[in-house]
């Protein structure tokens, strides 16, 4: 069997075995089902991966495209299998990206335009209790094997589940979701009644999950958050697609943090002479030029800025097909961590790429100077341009288009894109520039704090922060609050995120580092013939992959 055939068949098999993920990457054939998150379900998906890797090992690439496809598939599916064999899939529970969140978010991505769509949604809703039973069974198995998630994650996810269940003073997520059927013409009352019943059942299941987490799992959960070096290296390879030297990365993170900190001080002084960065941020927060009021106004502001970027960059700096021009901006449902995120288009682009902004439910005023760079990060030229270009690229197999992305490749590109927008003249306003620089300072701080906390590293001399002490969650929070000017609401969520998702947060800065190094490698080899637009086009059309594979491919393409 040819390489591309193995990849394409694996996508079909994986989608059938993981319907929630299938909805996420835009294959709708299984939208009436939910994933089996029990130990047996995890084992079945591992068996699929093991068999596909066995077939891939003996497949001979027919050409250069298949050679790359084989390398991408082997690395990505291989690390997924390693995580399973280490028991990490059964133990998955954190505040941002675990089965508990995947289940809920799958409903955000389902179409609701027709009676048939709502009927499919009702069927899937009715299966939420069984899916959460599988999550519960896996977590108990992980606890019995000594791999229970940390108490911090158990407690916080219980709080989130209570919000979605409607137990925290607001309307539950699923009740709000199905209320949309009342606003769509042609949905019969019998179906709307089924939807309301299924929503109630789903919310009860989330309420029961919260109770399980608090009463049964919490007593088994360790109070220590750090995962240690071996587990950290495994997760880092998953998120980066590269073999990280965490201590070298930690030292580089400090160097990068110090460099950006100096530049921020210069920009703050331009905004208000003599002001510290925190004082400049306070002045910008109070400036009416950088403020929108109301969540609807925030969404409209995001949409305008995103649309403007698409129009300005198309044809001048990037090749952007028609299918990519429809990026939607939305406010995310309450209950999750504060911040922005992106969901990619479906395979046929019937569902567009979307930028979501998760904000506190009671917040109504938003300073835009912090967030201009976020729109570029999540939209264009960031995640939307990269991910949707890969989905659109007909020369790639379906695994490359839909399943091959890594955090280092995607988040690294998105952070690189923020810097690129500055270089292209889109961040000449010092307020918006300060927002971009703080975003980069924040990502450099993530490298330091994430690695430092999980490995228990010492804070070096000359940093001006608890020198000689070893990182703890309390020191991590203090560092992020006092040495960056990021919104405090966001910072408090971040520490929980790092501790429950080891190795992901550094992928932004470490990925950007590789993208910049790769670009300069190609620039040096090509000399005067180097063309930035051509470099971007070639890199984006290769689709997702690990960072080591990306570096190898960019070098091979340029020889």
Decide: helix, strand or coil at residue 392. Answer: helix
Provide the pLDDT for residue 359: 86
Calculate the CA dihedral of residues 541, 244, 509, 80 and round it to 10 degrees. Answer: 50
Which residues is 358 bridged to in the sheet?
Answer: 339
Contact 52, 6 (CB under 8 A): yes
pTM over 0.85: yes
Q: Which residue, among 355, 351, 353, has the nearest Cα to 374 in the 3D structure?
A: 355
291 bridge partner residues: 367
Query: How far, in whole angstroms, is CA 214 from its chain's centroid?
Result: 27
Which of 395, 515, 363 lies closest to 66 in space, CA to CA? 395
pLDDT of residue 489: 76
pLDDT computed for residue 487 by the predictor:
80
CB 44 within 8 A of CB 38: no
In this structure, is the dihedral angle defined by the CA atoms of residues 398, 402, 403 and 409, taken in order, positive or negative?
positive
Please answer whether residues 356 and 330 qualify as being in contact, where contact means their C-beta atoms are separated by less than 8 angstroms.
yes
Three-state secondary structure readout of 321-371 = CHHHHCCEEEECCCCCCCEEEEECCCCCCCCCCEEEEECCCCCCEEEHHHC
The predicted structure's pLDDT at residue 154:
97
Integer Cα distance of 74 and 68 in angstroms = 10
Question: Cis peptide leading into 38, omega within 30 of 0?
Answer: no
Q: Is 468 within 8 Å of 457 (Cβ atoms)?
A: no
pLDDT at 127: 98
Please tell me the predicted confidence (pLDDT) of residue 552: 87
d(CA 437, CA 369): 11
- Looking at residue 299, its pLDDT comes to 95
Q: How far apart are CA 28 and CA 112, in angstroms?
A: 13
The three state secondary structure string of 240-258 is HCCCCCHHHHHHHHHHHHH
Cα end-to-end distance, the chain, whole Å: 30
H/E stretch holding 81: helix 64-85
Between CA 19 and CA 27 the distance in angstroms is 9
In the chain (559 residues long), the average pLDDT of successive 10-residue segments reads 95 98 94 98 98 97 96 97 97 95 96 94 98 98 96 96 93 94 86 96 98 97 94 96 94 97 97 96 95 94 97 94 94 80 93 92 90 96 96 96 95 97 96 96 96 97 96 95 86 86 95 94 92 94 94 75
**Closest residue by Cα to residue 387 from 371, 404, 373, 365:** 404
pLDDT of residue 527: 93
Measured distance CA(187)–CA(185) in Å, rounded: 6
Radius of gyration of the CA atoms of the chain, in A:
23
How much is the pLDDT for 558? 58
Rounded to 5 degrees, φ, ψ at 330 are -140, 155
As given in the structure block, the two tokens for residue 555 are 């070098």
What is the distance between the alpha carbons of residues 98 and 150, in angstroms, rounded to a whole number? 14
User: What CA–CA distances, in Å, run from 315 to 270, 321, 380?
Assistant: 34, 10, 13
The answer to whether 173 and 101 have CB atoms below 8 angstroms apart is: no
């Amino acid at each position: 069997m040819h390489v591309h055939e193995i990849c394409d068949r694996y996508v079909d098999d994986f989608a059938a075995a993981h319907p929630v993920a299938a909805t996420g990457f835009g294959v709708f054939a299984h939208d009436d089902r939910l994933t089996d998150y029990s130990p047996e379900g995890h084992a079945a998906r591992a068996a699929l991966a093991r068999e596909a890797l066995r077939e891939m090992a003996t497949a001979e690439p027919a050409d250069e495209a298949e050679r790359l496809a084989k390398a991408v598939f082997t690395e990505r599916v291989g690390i997924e299998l390693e995580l399973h064999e280490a028991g990490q899939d059964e133990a998955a529970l954190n505040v941002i990206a675990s089965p508990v969140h995947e289940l809920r978010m799958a409903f955000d991505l389902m179409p609701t335009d027709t009676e048939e769509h709502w009927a499919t949604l009702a069927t899937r809703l009715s299966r939420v209790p069984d899916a959460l039973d599988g999550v519960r069974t896996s977590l108990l198995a992980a606890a019995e094997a000594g791999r229970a998630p940390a108490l911090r994650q158990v407690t916080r996810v219980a709080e989130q589940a209570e919000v979605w269940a409607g137990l925290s003073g607001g309307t539950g997520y699923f009740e709000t979701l199905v209320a949309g059927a009342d606003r769509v013409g042609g949905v019969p009352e019998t179906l709307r009644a089924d939807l309301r019943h299924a929503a109630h059942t789903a919310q009860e299941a989330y309420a029961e999950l919260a109770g399980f987490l608090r009463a049964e799992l919490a007593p088994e959960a360790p109070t220590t958050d750090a995962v240690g070096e071996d587990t950290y290296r495994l997760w880092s390879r998953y998120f980066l697609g590269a073999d990280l030297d965490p201590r070298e990365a930690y030292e580089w993170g400090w160097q990068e943090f110090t460099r950006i900190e100096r530049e921020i001080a210069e920009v703050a002084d331009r905004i208000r002479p003599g002001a510290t960065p925190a004082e400049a941020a306070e002045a910008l927060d109070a400036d009416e030029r950088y403020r929108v009021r109301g969540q609807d106004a925030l969404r409209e502001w995001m949409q305008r800025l995103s649309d403007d970027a698409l129009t300005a960059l198309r044809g001048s700096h990037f090749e952007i097909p028609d299918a990519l021009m429809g990026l939607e901006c939305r406010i995310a449902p309450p209950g999750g961590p504060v911040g922005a995120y992106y969901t990619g288009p479906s395979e046929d682009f019937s569902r567009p790429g979307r930028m979501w902004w998760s904000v506190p439910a009671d917040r109504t005023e938003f300073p835009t100077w912090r967030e201009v760079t976020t729109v570029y990060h999540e939209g264009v030229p960031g995640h939307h341009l990269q991910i949707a270009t890969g989905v659109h690229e007909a020369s790639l197999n379906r695994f490359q288009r839909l399943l091959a992305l890594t955090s280092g490749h995607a988040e690294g590109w998105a952070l690189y894109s923020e810097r690129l927008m500055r270089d292209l003249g889109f961040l000449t306003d010092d307020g918006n520039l300060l927002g971009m620089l703080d975003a980069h300072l924040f990502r450099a701080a993530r490298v330091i704090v994430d690695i430092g906390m999980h490995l228990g590293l010492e804070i070096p001399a000359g940093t001006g922060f608890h020198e000689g002490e070893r990182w703890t969650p309390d020191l991590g929070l203090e560092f992020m609050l006092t040495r960056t000017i990021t919104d405090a609401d966001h910072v408090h969520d971040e520490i929980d995120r790092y501790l429950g998702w080891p190795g992901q947060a550094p992928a932004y800065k470490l990925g950007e580092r590789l993208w910049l190094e790769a670009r300069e490698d190609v620039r040096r080899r090509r000399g005067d013939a180097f063309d930035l637009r051509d470099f971007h086009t070639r890199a984006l059309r290769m689709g997702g992959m690990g960072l080591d594979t990306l570096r190898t491919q960019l070098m091979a393409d340029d020889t």
